[in-house]
Structure 1
Amino acid sequence: MGINKEMDVVTMKKILFSVLLILLALNSLYPFSVYAHTNNSEGFSTINVKGKTLNYGLKLDLEELGHALNKTTDEKELINHKVLQDYINSHIKIYADSELVEGTILKTNIATIKERPFAVINLAYKIGHKPEKLVVEYNMFMDDSDPSHANYTTIKMDEKQQEKILTFESRELEIGEVSFLQNVKQFVAVGLKHIFTGYDHILFVISLLFGAKTIRHILSLVTSFTIAHSITLALATFNIVHLYSRFVESAIALSIVYVALINIFNQDSKQQPWLAFGFGLIHGFGFAGLLSEMRLDTNQMATSLVSFNIGIEIGQLLIVSLAFPLILWIRKFTIKPIRWVIPGTSAVIFAFGLVWFIQRAF
């Protein structure tokens, strides 16, 4: 029995010695500091809003940051602002009056806090207007490397201050409240901006105008399109109906292609209100895509939706008011070069729609 015990002890020592040699060899190839979790890592946030600018002082455990970025993080690595900035913007969402804003890194440094190295990161956020409400959604490390991470956050805005410890179970902090008038003003402006920067929507409306014959006809088309996209915009915003964005964007491109083809091969065709209504349902889901990227206040969601839709309608009316008189004027000419303006423009619109469809569908 004694001999067996001595052999077991010798065998155990050999095993432990072999494991130690393996660990040392692995450490020489892959330093433990890259892959080790700090566990219970900490962070500190100081957010200060002054007028139209938000300054964010962020301090993060350097070792945990390196693990999240899957690299050894030192002062040289922090100089690579692009990678670090993209990571922060994807894990910290800041909404100023419901609109998502992104930060730009101004400078980085390394400091020692509680005898541990911390990355000190200063970011600036340009908001464009003085916000009345600020919401912070914090997700650093929690889903990537350290679920026990905690961030001690302080927000100062309009002589108000709020503090909170952000954890895995509680990741959100908000301060302030948007007034009814500010909410209406903001979402009307967002709707206007969206329609004037949504070139696919503009080209679709112009294509409908090419097939309109009278003022009454264009009113019926615009009304049908408006009612349809208002329905699906509301359904999507309230999460009653959801469609994949890739499908929606591809279908919007196809709607442009379809109407453009009609204008090319049948110039005397009269666009039907049911066609505008059908495609309007698809475009409504496209409009809702923007709202899904914003953090709508549940208490003012209906107001935000109506205001956003009003902004879209104002934009559409401006487009119709500018484009339709020009189209009617062109149709009065019998000279061949002039008569080819509408089918030629439709061919260009068709090309854009086809390219967009290929890009979005494949």
Structure 2
Amino acid sequence: MKRWLLLLVALLLPLAALAHKPSDSYLTLRASAGGGEIAVRWDIALRDLDYVLELDRDGDGALTWGEVRQRADDITGYATSRLELRAGNATCEWSTAGPLMLERHSDGTYAVLALRADCAGLAAGLRARYSLLFDVDPSHRGLVQWIAPGNPSQALIFGAESAQQALPMQPPGPWQTLKQYVADGVWHIWIGYDHILFLLALLLPSVLVVRRHGQWESAPGLRGAAGDVFKVVTAFTVAHSITLSLAALEVVSLPSRLVESAIAASVVLAALNNLRPTAASRRWIAAFVFGLIHGFGFASVLADLGLPRDALVLALVGFNVGVELGQLAIVAVFLPVAFALRHTLFYRFGVVKIGSILVALLAAWWFVQRAFDL
């Protein structure tokens, strides 16, 4: 038993550093109407730049504008060495188009680079090779808004597995747009550790029932457990789909800091309910209520990806479908394993009790970090 508990701790401890969303940078590439010149705005998190370039020279843990400004050339050189643009067979030449600036995003302060790429023969097609931070963080992504002459913006995502991509001169068709946003939705739920922990905290008791003295005991059959899982997942899905759509369509908007803090609090409450079950048969209600908050969190990610105005509904549907497919994959792994282990002391005490305590502590730390902007 002790070995299994140590394993649970080891699995959860790395998540303590993931209170904020995963590492992303934001690139806007706008080709000039005459062709040959591309205006580039690149937002890169200061925490990422500090990690690779050690910007905090005095080591006090607080970056100042002076420390960042002194390394402006190093930051620009590092960034441009990690992004190669090629027009036809020729590599585009980088130049600086403006001074380094800072801008506040929902997850911290970003350095903003204003650059220009001179590309001869743009009509021959443009390709990009992106490698920022991949050597230290393979999960990092570059979120790109590409604006070709005379066309609406197109959203592209560069990751370790998609580091080289063509920048199309014409917008993608409906099928390509749908497929892209489905993949984005699946990816987001799989790296959204707070969303996953909330869902799993609600699902852990699905293979159990409350008996004497409010304690959990094994559920008698798989059918009842699957029905409970279905109610929880459906309630969560319906709720976050509502607020995701409202926020993405700019009908309702909430401050990111409030949303992220509330998401962390929802994980705490879901985990604590497993320790003293007060809403054992009504967990689907909690899934629906807090799912409304989680939907705003999904919407912020979708906004970061960039919604094509000419295919807004298609992108929204694709992202939502991707989130649901990602959830179903998690449930498909969880349910048979949990049902097989439901009789064991390891599951009822080690996973449900001790695991819920660890999840509650972890989410409480996330809440402190987000609420107080640490």
Q: Normalization by structure 2: what TM-score? A: 0.55
* % same residue: 34
- Equivalent position of 1:177 in the other structure: 171
Q: Which amino acid aligns with 1:124?
A: E
The 3 A distance-change label for structure 1 pair 282 and 85 is farther
- Equivalent position of 2:360 in the other structure: 350
> Match for 1:339 among 345, 348, 355?
348
Higher-Rg structure is 1
Report the Cα distance in structure 2 between the residues aligned to 1:150 and 1:294, rounded to whole angstroms. 21
Report the Cα distance in structure 1 between the residues aligned to 2:121 and 2:245, rounded to whole angstroms. 35
> Match for 1:199 among 186, 193, 199?
193
- Equivalent position of 1:235 in the other structure: 246
- Equivalent position of 2:308 in the other structure: 297
Report the Cα distance in structure 1 between the residues aligned to 2:366 and 2:173, rounded to whole angstroms. 39
**Displacement of 1:151 after TM fit?**
7.6
SS in 2 for 1:293: helix
Superposed, which structure 2 residues align to 1:1-362 within 5 Å? 46-47=37-38, 80-82=73-75, 84=76, 104-106=79-81, 123-124=83-84, 140=98, 159=124, 174=151, 175-213=169-207, 214-266=225-277, 269-333=280-344, 336-341=345-350, 342-362=352-372
Report the Cα distance in structure 1 between the residues aligned to 2:226 and 2:115, rounded to whole angstroms. 62
The 3 A distance-change label for structure 1 pair 172 and 241 is farther
Q: Which amino acid aligns with 2:300?
A: G
**Displacement of 1:70 after TM fit?**
9.0
**Displacement of 1:186 after TM fit?**
0.7
- 1:129-166 Cα deviation digits (max 9, x unpaired): xxxxxxxxx9946999xxxx9989768667369xxxxx
Report the Cα distance in structure 2 between the residues aligned to 1:85 and 1:293, rounded to whole angstroms. 25
The 3 A distance-change label for structure 1 pair 172 and 248 is farther
**Displacement of 1:266 after TM fit?**
2.6
Q: Are 2:242 and 2:292, in contact at CA under 8 Å, matched by a contact in 1?
A: yes
Q: Which amino acid aligns with 2:124?
A: E
The 3 A distance-change label for structure 1 pair 85 and 197 is farther
Q: What value does the CA root-mean-square deviation take over the aligned residues?
A: 3.8
Q: Are 1:45 and 1:151, in contact at CA under 8 Å, matched by a contact in 2?
A: no
Q: Which amino acid aligns with 2:204?
A: F
Report the Cα distance in structure 2 between the residues aligned to 1:141 and 1:286, rounded to whole angstroms. 32
Report the Cα distance in structure 1 between the residues aligned to 2:321 and 2:289, rounded to whole angstroms. 20
Q: Are 2:202 and 2:283, in contact at CA under 8 Å, matched by a contact in 1?
A: no
Counting matched residue pairs gives 236
**Displacement of 1:289 after TM fit?**
0.8
- 1:263-293 Cα deviation digits (max 9, x unpaired): 0223992343221110100000000111111
Q: Which has the higher contact order (CA 8 A, sep 6+)?
A: 2
Unaligned 5+ segments in structure 1 are 1-43, 49-68, 87-103, 107-121, 127-137, 162-170
199-208 or 324-333, which deviates more: 324-333
Q: Which amino acid aligns with 2:295?
A: G
The 3 A distance-change label for structure 1 pair 231 and 268 is closer
Report the Cα distance in structure 2 between the residues aligned to 1:330 and 1:268, rounded to whole angstroms. 23
Report the Cα distance in structure 1 between the residues aligned to 2:117 and 2:194, rounded to whole angstroms. 44
SS in 1 for 2:251: coil
Q: Which amino acid aligns with 1:343?
A: K
Q: Normalization by structure 1: what TM-score? A: 0.57
Q: Are 1:253 and 1:356, in contact at CA under 8 Å, matched by a contact in 2?
A: yes
Q: Are 1:267 and 1:343, in contact at CA under 8 Å, matched by a contact in 2?
A: no
The 3 A distance-change label for structure 1 pair 351 and 151 is closer
Q: Which amino acid aligns with 1:303?
A: L
Q: Which amino acid aligns with 1:288?
A: A
- 1:289-340 Cα deviation digits (max 9, x unpaired): 111112221111100010001110001001111112222222223xx44531
- 1:172-197 Cα deviation digits (max 9, x unpaired): 95542111111111111111110110
The 3 A distance-change label for structure 1 pair 192 and 139 is farther
Q: Which amino acid aligns with 2:181?
A: F
Q: Are 1:81 and 1:105, in contact at CA under 8 Å, matched by a contact in 2?
A: no
SS in 2 for 1:272: helix
